Amino acid sequence: MWKKSGQEKIFKIRGTSMLPLIRETDAIGVLPIRQPEELCIGDIALFQWPTGMVAHRIVGKFRKDNITYLYEKGDRGVLPTTISGEMVIGKVVRIYRPGNTIDLTSSLWLITNRSAGYYWYYLNAVFKLFYTSKKILFGSKKFPHISSACSKIYLFLSALPNWMFRRNNR
């Protein structure tokens, strides 16, 4: 019934996977969506996992066999997870915290969220290309120093988007 209403619904947050943007004491305002195609890279979506509801950032999407799939990840996470678009409940449009409301539909937050989403999109694409190229060129041969360096670079680069949220998250 709520999905057909088009009205915002407020959900209480539990967890820290979206820190620093969404804090454990926050609530989120979610608008229902009818199709997963309505979501853009960088949007924060609420979706249903078997273990409960999760709000994470969309960092990519693709279609296969007439089904839309989304890459999602928490801002504190390192690697994205693939989910079916059918799992999406809605789009997070506001963050409610004591004494403050963050409107994710404002220009500042649209730009910030899109930037974070595309940052992850391209970062993952570059590292996937690197590892695919390495496999094609060298097969299963191991290069521990290169792998270790790549892992450290990826972890460093994965922490950079959180800086944006600390700066914009007042």
* pLDDT value of position 91: 98
> Quick one: pLDDT at residue 96?
97
Structure confidence at residue 158 (pLDDT): 78
Residue 131 is predicted with a pLDDT of: 82
What parts of the chain have a pLDDT lower than 70? 163-170
Residue 139 structure tokens: 């097969």
> What are the respective helix, strand and coil percentages of the chain, to the nearest 5?
40, 30, 30
Task: Specify the pLDDT at position 164.
Answer: 63
- Tell me the domain boundaries of the chain: 1-170
Task: Show contacts of 9-14: CB within 8 Å, 24+ apart.
Answer: 9/90, 10/96, 11/46, 11/53, 11/55, 13/55
Residues sharing a CB contact under 8 Å with residue 140, sequence separation 6 or more, in sequence order: none
Q: Does the structural domain 1-170 have CATH classification 3.40.50.970?
A: no
pLDDT value at position 66? 94
- For residue 27 the two structure tokens come to 């609530």
